[in-house]
Amino acid sequence: MTDTAPKTGSLDLAEEFLDRTTPLTRIRGILHRHPAISPALVLLVAVIVFGLLNDRFLRPENLSLISQQVAVVGTLAIAQTLVILTAGIDLSVGAIMILSAMVMAQTAASTGVPPVLCLLLGLVVGLAAGGLNGLLVTRLKLPPFIVTLGTLSIFTAVTLLYTGGTTVRGSEIPPLLTFTGVTFSIGGISLTAGVLIMVLLYLIMAYALNRTAWGRHVYAVGDDKEAARLAGISVNRVLVSVYLAAGAIIAVAAWIQIGRTNAASPNSGVDLNLDSITAVVIGGTSLFGGRGAVWGTLLGALIVGVFRNGLALAGLDVLYQTLAVGVLIIVAVALDQWIRKARS
Amino acid sequence: MTAPASRSASASASAHDVDTRAPILEARRLVKTYGRVVGLDGVGLKLYPGEVLAIIGDNGAGKSTLVKCLTGAEVPDTGELLLDGRPVSFKRPQDARAAGIETVYQTLAVSPALDVASNLFLGREERKRGILGSVFRMLDTKGMRAKAGRELAELGISTLQDVTVPVENLSGGQRQAVAVARAAAFGSKVVVLDEPTAALGVRESNQVLELVKALRERGIPVIIISHNMPQVFEVADRIHIQRLGKRAATITPQSHSMTEAVAIMTGAQTA
């Protein structure tokens, strides 16, 4: 009775379409809906450019080398994606991986424990470390950044105390633990078991995130925690499950790392923390949570691998690789901010 | 009728209560104190099948507290809650939801990045039949989308044809429609709307009011809290007026004018 406005209804939709008429906003809308498009384009362009710069780049040996270089970071980045989707961040992925790898290798090398049990022990270490992160985030209500900054130091120190800083050589490690370094030839490109395991993990996680209720809940919690709670989702249970899953995935990354380096060193892989975050961010997953896809992360890890390899082949100093990765991160986050404006 | 300070629920039933029918939801002598502040001072309320009951009151009159006690967000100190004539007690909002009382909050409790269908089924997703669902936990995305589409159509929400659109691409009114549809779906007994139009423009508010009427037509009783008198008088069958932690009166849009309702609310007049 108080309303003199025109008829309600379809006008809202019409307005939305009017808003999208410029090509730029239309592109933004598409990128908004399919966050994996932009990293895919970047990867494609990078591969073409590096291929033109150096004809060695596209050779099968080089491509399989890139895949092996990417396997560890790519696997860690799956764990990182999970945590970042919940609007968190995990600074301890590298430290957990090294701890898990050292426990596996040292137990196998210095005790008579069967290799299979050593692998399981590494998995338990990953789960326990991830579970600790999850409990601190949910019970003490501390920001994930602070929790994992603390556990990064704790896990690193525990690793050094446990190993005394010594490396376990490949000759002391049983074949099962270095199995991830074994190569298979598929269509002329030789892939290691570690690369195949990484791809398998991506398939599993893409399924879990897109096709199960748990996946929806992970996105919902990262998107709007309060809305998720009001919808009846147990937010804390989802968060703990995410950190546990991350811990398990990190343990697998530890296994791949042992195979890749044919050793277990408490000092290797210090950069892997930030590299995993880089892969996630370049892959289009938003640091604000609730948006992104695990396939984007694989593309992000490949982009970093391709840039490092391509620049090295082009004869540039390693510092330029680091510089390029830094530029990539800033461009990726700026792009994410711009895409997120499509919301309003 | 004047029954502002009634201590007994049976005596407090005003002439406009439809006593011949059994109420779906009934509150008796609810008391809720916060330290020395008395939020609710023996409030009774009855909600009958297929009606829209509005709760109005000035700030601090206890309408939010009352609704929180009905939806499990607060636990009353004393008093009784009956759902379908059976005593119930809610410790958490989930308890009330499990009993069939769905609440739509003022802050739109939808997940912006998820699509309409995912939001409707958030927290109660349906899995595929057979081994895909039981072992591989696969969601029945197609089935849920079809159900969501039917649900929205039944509620007459014509502007939400595509249930695969992310909620963040919708207007405020459409988002509220998604929240209301979620509350009304899944065989809920009572839908509580807390200031559903507070953040909306005139046209979008009207969409939500149409939705409230659609709920009533489906026989789902609605409790609506609002500050907006014209809206209350447009949509409500009965109006529960809170004042100073007590029920000042229960009126109908036919028995009283808006001015009189405001006068009762502010204490300038008794019913």
Residue A114: which CATH number?
Answer: 1.10.3470
Task: Using a CB–CB cutoff of 8 Å, tell me whether A85 touches chain B.
Answer: no
Three-state secondary-structure class, residue A184: strand
- Would A234 be classed as within a structural domain? yes
Q: Which domain holds residue B84?
A: 9-100+189-266
- Would B20 be classed as within a structural domain? yes
Share of chain A above pLDDT 70, in %: 93
* B interface residues, A as partner, C-beta within 8 Å: 93-94, 97, 105, 107-114, 118-119, 122-125, 127, 136-139, 141, 158-159, 166, 168-171, 173-174, 182, 202-204, 206-207, 210, 230, 234
CB contact under 8 A, B206 and A5: yes
CB contact under 8 A, A211 and B173: no
Residue B166 burial class via C-beta count within 10 angstroms: exposed 0-12, middle 13-18, buried 19 and up: buried
Which of these, A195, A176, A174, lies nearest to A186 by C-alpha position? A195
State how many domains chain A has: 1
Share of chain B above pLDDT 90, in %: 37
Report chain A (344 residues): mean pLDDT per 10 consecutive residues.
Answer: 43 52 78 80 91 91 92 97 97 96 94 93 98 96 95 95 91 92 85 95 96 95 89 92 98 96 86 90 90 93 92 87 86 81 60
CB contact under 8 A, A12 and B110: no
**CA atoms within 13 Å, Cβ hemisphere of B162:** 9
- Would A31 be classed as within a structural domain? no
Residue A337 burial class via C-beta count within 10 angstroms: exposed 0-12, middle 13-18, buried 19 and up: exposed
Which of these, B106, B42, B38, B36, lies nearest to B71 by C-alpha position? B106
Alpha helices in chain A (DSSP H): 11-19, 23-33, 37-53, 60-85, 93-110, 115-139, 144-163, 175-178, 193-211, 213-223, 225-230, 235-261, 272-282, 294-313, 318-340
- Would A178 be classed as within a structural domain? yes
- Would B173 be classed as within a structural domain? no
Is the separation of the CB atoms in B194 and B103 below 8 Å? yes
Is the separation of the CB atoms in B24 and B221 below 8 Å? yes
CB contact under 8 A, A213 and B125: yes
Which of these, A176, A35, A58, lies nearest to A108 by C-alpha position? A176
- Would B57 be classed as within a structural domain? yes
Task: Provide the residue type at A30 as one letter.
Answer: I
Amino acid B5: pLDDT: 42
Is the separation of the CB atoms in A151 and A133 below 8 Å? yes
- Would B69 be classed as within a structural domain? yes
| CATH number of the domain encompassing residue B236 | 3.40.50.300
pLDDT value at B3 more than 50? no
Amino acid A279: pLDDT: 94
Amino acid B13: pLDDT: 41
- Would B166 be classed as within a structural domain? no
Distance, in Å, from the CA atom of B148 to the CA atom of B178, rounded to the nearest integer, reads 10
State how many domains chain B has: 1
Distance, in Å, from the CA atom of A69 to the CA atom of B44, rounded to the nearest integer, reads 70
- Three-class HEC string of B50-72: CCEEEEEECCCCCHHHHHHHHCC
Longest CA–CA span in chain B (Å) reads 66
Amino acid B29: pLDDT: 94
pLDDT value at B1 more than 60? no
A282: closest CA of chain B, how far (Å): 19
Q: Which domain holds residue A55?
A: 36-343
Tell me what the pLDDT averaged over chain A comes to.
Answer: 88
Q: Is the pTM of this model over 0.80?
A: yes
- Would A294 be classed as within a structural domain? yes
- Would B116 be classed as within a structural domain? no
